[in-house]
Amino acid sequence: MNVSNRLALLASLTGLLAACGGGGDDAAAPAAPVGAGPAAATTKGRFIDSAVANLGYTCGVAPNQTSGVTDSLGQFDFVPATPAPSCTFKVGAVVLGSAAADAVLTPYSLVAGATPGTANTTVTNIARFLQSIDSDNNPANGITIQAETNAALSGAAAAALSFSSPGFDAAAPALVAGAIPGRALVASTAATNAMNLTLLGLYAGNYACTYSGVVNGTNTVLGTVAVTLTADVLTGVGTPTYPAGVQHATFDIDGSLTPAGISNSSTSTGATFGGNFTSDGTVAGTKATGIWNDSSLGSGTWSCQHQ
């Protein structure tokens, strides 16, 4: 083979290797390792005591671990799994606690056995601390933790802070004042009231409800109730619809709601309604179910959907 033919063959082979992704600095990126797949899909949860922004978090373990700081709505990312991954929340070096990831988490979520609306010193101390380091000192419009505050709370004293310790009231004020000069630790009652008002706000608004009972062996809708929740107060008007074709008198319903979503109400006709409101932070995911009782009509179930 003459020189010119050899050069032509070499050029052809070089072009073929390039087309197949052959070596060299211009080669395509190597394939992903065996067993490595696309990044796992994440979903969002919210941390609220009022919405807490710039709160550090770490959820789950590798390879599905997520970490960062919450956004202005208190949202954090996690990879859904069964069981739910554990999320740990921090301000600088101060560890608030951990809880299983969920659509809505609160200081109550971080303390085993704590129930919204029931006094718990550890929960209250977490709320006091968060509200005390809010950038504008007004947790009613959300809690924002400035980057400077996170940095100021990165030392050993911050890491040692315990929300369940009897020494919390001695240690926390100095940390708060050190992070935001002139700032005092929020009082327990004020912090608890503000946090519980936020939780009640999850359920606030108007609901379309129905109540049902068994008629001739069949569960039957007996009427509708339009309900409004304002803070811890429930009011509404009910309209019986069974039997059809009969003029029914409306009735009033009045009651209360706890920060845990537990409702107890009574009607102007003497019936009682008890049950639970739940919320994932969305309108579609805010609803209620329960049991009604009436001395003359018997009992049945009721359900509500936020409008």
Q: What are the residues facing 225 on neighbouring strands? A: 209, 238
Residue showing tokens 């929300």:
163
Q: What fold is seen in the domain 205-306? A: Lipocalin (2.40.128)
Summarize the confidence of residues 295-307 as an average pLDDT: 96
Q: Is the pLDDT of residue 3 over 70?
A: no
Q: Is the pLDDT of residue 270 over 70?
A: yes
159-178 b/e (C-beta count within 10 Å ≥ 16 → b): eebebeeeebeebbeebbee
Summarize the confidence of residues 35-50 as an average pLDDT: 84
Q: Is the pLDDT of residue 303 over 80?
A: yes
* 247-259 pLDDT tens trace: 999 999 999 999 9
Please say whether the dihedral angle defined by the alpha carbons of residues 254, 255, 259 and 262, taken in this order, is positive or negative. negative
What are the boundaries of each domain within the chain?
43-201, 205-306
Beta 43-47 vs 104-105: how paired, if at all? parallel
Query: What pLDDT is attached to residue 38?
Result: 66
* Cα distance between residue 138 and residue 129, in whole Å: 13
Predicted confidence band of residue 40 (pLDDT cuts 50, 70, 90): confident
* 144-165 pLDDT tens trace: 999 999 999 999 999 999 999 9
Q: Which of 19-23, 137-141, 167-171, 277-281 has the lowest mean pLDDT?
A: 19-23
Query: What pLDDT is attached to residue 15?
Result: 38
Query: What pLDDT is attached to residue 37?
Result: 56
Contact yes or no for 114/121 (Cβ under 8 A): no
